[in-house]
Amino acid sequence: MSDSIVISVDAMGGDNGPRIVLHGARLVLRERGNIEFIFHGREEILSPLLDEFPEVKAVSTIQHCDVVIAMDAKPSAALRKGRNVSSMWSALQAVKDGKAAVAVSGGNTGALMAMSTFCLRPIKGVSRPAIAAIWPTERADIVVLDVGATIGGDADQLVDFAILGAALARALFDQDAPSVGLLNIGTEELKGVDSVKEAAKILGERDGAGFKFHGFVEGNDIGKGTVDVVVTEGFVGNIALKTAEGTAQQVGSYFSKALKADWVSRLGAFISMRALIALKRKMDPRAINGGVFLGLNGIVIKSHGGTDEVGFKSALDVAYEMGRFDLISKISEGLERFSPNEDDDMQTQEIDEAESIQDKKQTDQKQKK
């Protein structure tokens, strides 16, 4: 299948083993026919498992790797021991070599970010990559970043995240200028830490360079879908993501118990079964599994390590969508649209120098008089 999207998968990453990975691949393959897989890991484990999933085996190859990165490994140690030999590195290398459109792993997040940065390298103009989540809201899906790649961050990094998020939104939602908001403790201009306020100033000055700057947004604006892209640093973003997932599980548990409380509730649940099933799917945290590493010369998707086959299928869905779009060129285009034109800068500098020389001449003439 020449028009297939090739997905490179670290089959050994995650808490639940490669069976979950292959099962997730079967689920996504049943919905999307034009996919091929490269599974990276121990062949003696993957080969017999693939025999259990013949439809996946028919569109897959195995890249044998002896080394598996542990979920609790330190990123520096993982990079030192796993470079060139681990299933995680091999999955990334396939993207770098052009053999696959996107890489997916449920492995150690810190190790995956370190290896991705070292193997694929950041795009020129990006200081640090970010992890973006596709977030369902009352209005539509939106982009939220960073959700865990960078703890802390200065104004320039937040601006980078805004550019990256806007590029992703343009690719996913087919919008020429998606709206961007900075997550803050209030919408007033004087609120927030200095880095957020400084980033708002920069983004406000460049409003229209591939995005519409909305200003500050608060936590409740995420669920409302107030803007297309919500920007924050990784510490806050990760807490927001985990809080949303936990809240969805909590509400789902309450709802389930309430429907089983008595026979009247059970009857109501039976009558409303179709609507309840749709609501359950909408609230399922597994449906938003799959963080996109943005800012690298290649696309990487991070799956939750503890997810099941349904969750891993969601990560593969995200990988497929990313593989369909020329995301890297859209990000590069966004950086070019945001950055001042070098020719304009040179022209401005020449004008300033000429004016300075003219002012000096006029001053000298006055002094001589």
Q: What is the pLDDT of residues 2-15, one digit of tens each?
A: 578 999 999 998 88
The predicted pLDDT at position 345 comes to 42
- DSSP strand E in 76-116: where? 102-105
Cβ contact 40:12 at 8 Å: yes
The predicted pLDDT at position 56 comes to 94
Amino acid identity for residue 365 in this structure: Q
Give the angle subtended at the CA of 299 by the CAs of 231 and 244, to the nearest 5°.
40
CA distance 134 to 153: 21
Does the global pTM surpass 0.85?
no
CA distance 248 to 135: 13
- DSSP strand E in 59-124: where? 60-64, 102-105
The predicted pLDDT at position 35 comes to 94
- Give the position of tokens 């091929």: 36
Q: What is the pLDDT of residues 191-207, one digit of tens each?
A: 888 999 999 999 998 88
Indicate the fold that domain 1-122+295-338 takes in CATH.
Rossmann fold (3.40.50)
Domain boundary assignment for the chain: 1-122+295-338, 127-292
Q: Within a 13 Å sphere around the CA of 238, how many CA atoms are in the beta-carbon half?
A: 12
The predicted pLDDT at position 331 comes to 75
| The CATH number of the domain covering residues in 127-292 | 3.40.718.10
Q: How confident is the model at residue 161 (pLDDT cuts 50, 70, 90)?
A: very high
Higher pLDDT, 329 or 318: 318
Query: What dihedral do alpha carbons 120, 124, 129, 131 form, nearest 10°?
Result: -90
Task: Show Cβ contacts of residue 263 under 8 Å, excluding neighbours closer than 6 positions.
Answer: none
What SS3 class is residue 60? strand
CA distance 203 to 197: 10
Q: How confident is the model at residue 16 (pLDDT cuts 50, 70, 90)?
A: confident
Residue 318 above 60 pLDDT? yes
Amino acid identity for residue 270 in this structure: F
The predicted pLDDT at position 251 comes to 74
Q: Provide the angle, in degrees to the nearest 10, between the axes of the packed helices 87-96 and 109-120.
A: 30
Q: What is the pLDDT of residues 23-60, one digit of tens each?
A: 999 999 998 888 999 999 999 999 999 999 999 999 99
Phi/psi for 296 (5° steps) reads -110, 165
Residue 367 above 80 pLDDT? no
